[in-house]
Each structure stands twice: as C-alpha cells, then as structure tokens.
Homo-oligomer: A and B are copies of this chain.
Amino acid sequence: MSIDVGGHLKAVRMMYGLSQRELAKRAGVTNGTISLIEQNRVSPSVSSLKKVLDGVPMSLADFFTLDLQETPQVFYAREELADIGDRDVSLRLVAAKRTNRAMTIMHERYRPKADTGADMLSHKGEEGGIILTGHIELTVGGQSRVLGPGDAYYFASAVPHRFRNVGEEPCEIVSASTPPTF
C-alpha cells in the first residue's frame, strides 16, 4: 500500500556506495535524519527528501519512479523476439514476456504501401526511432515528413500520428516507446 521510502532511499544510497554520513554531508542534513528516514520512523517532508536526493544526485521523479527488482532474461536471440505484426507491418518485440518494463523496443518492418492509418488513439508517453532502410512518411499532428535511412523521429504519443511506407522497397525501423504499449 504505502511506499517504502526508507528502503528506497537506502537502496539508492547503497547503489552509489555512500554511507549515511557521507550522503548527509553532501545533502546538508544530519546523518540521524537519514537513519530515521531509512528505518521509516519518520516520513520526510518533500523539501527535506529533495535535499537528501540532491546529494546523490537524483530527482524526486526518478526516486518515485525507480523500482527495485531482479533482472529476469537479459539476452534475446533473434528467434525469441515476439512477432506481433500483420501482413503489411511486422513488429518484432524485445522483452515481450517481461512485465513491468519501462519501455517497448521494436524492430518494425513496413511493406511498400503499408499504412498504420490515422491513429486517433492518444495514448500518453513518448516514442522515437531511427530509420534503417527504405523510406517512410510520418505524420505527427499537423506536420508530415518523409524520412530515409539514418533519419529519426521523437514525439509525444498523445499527438495523433501515422506511418506510411511511400517507397518501393520495405522500410525498416528500430523504435522505442515509453511506457510500453505491448
């Protein structure tokens, strides 16, 4: 239910190899403060927690976003990438089975004339990618552009967007989006 701020702080401090006193000095608080927080015997004010994190340094956003668990599978052979595409658009997904991941990384392949259609579904988050081969027309909000090999894009997923292969050859893209959409 409630967040284990203390354990969280301790984990962060450990990650950076700092002692309570060392961190306290950098943050401009007393070591006792850090001890009490780490034991969850007090709930720090936002301002003091910020002071402490400034000593790391780490933002409040990162602190609360951070989650600490063990890493499951790390390596994925080509054959293990989940293929969730259809006939025109092939999507090969990294770490598909994994839950609680922060991103979706995909190898996308668009056949000539393939078109995602106007995506009015505005999911929140951000996505970006790099074009490997071929040409794709990307429309984001009002803007439109044809991108080729080496070109890239990055936008907030909330804005309606559309991919269309306008070339004669297949178009390949490696993309990433956060939070994961698959």
Which chain A residues have a beta carbon within 8 Å of chain B's beta carbons?
2-3, 5, 12, 15-16, 42-50, 58-66, 71, 73-78, 81, 92, 94-95, 98, 101-103, 105, 107, 122, 124-126, 128-130, 132, 138, 140-141, 143, 145, 147-156, 158-159, 174, 176, 178-179
Contact = CB atoms under 8 A, between A and B. Distances in A.
A115 B146 CA distance: 35
Contact of A44 (B3, B45, B101, B124): B45
Contact of A155 (B2, B71, B154): B71
B154 A101 contact: yes
Contacts of A176: 103, 105, 128, 176
Contacts of A98: 154
B150 A75 contact: no
Contacts of A61: 61, 64-65
Contact of A153 (B76, B103, B150): B76
A77 B94 CA distance: 26
Contacts of A179: 62, 65
Nearest to A123: B15
Contacts of A102: 125-126, 178
Contacts of A75: 138, 140, 143, 145, 147, 151-153
- The listed residue with most B CB atoms (<10 A of its CB), out of A62, A81, A103, A143, is A103
A15 B60 CA distance: 22
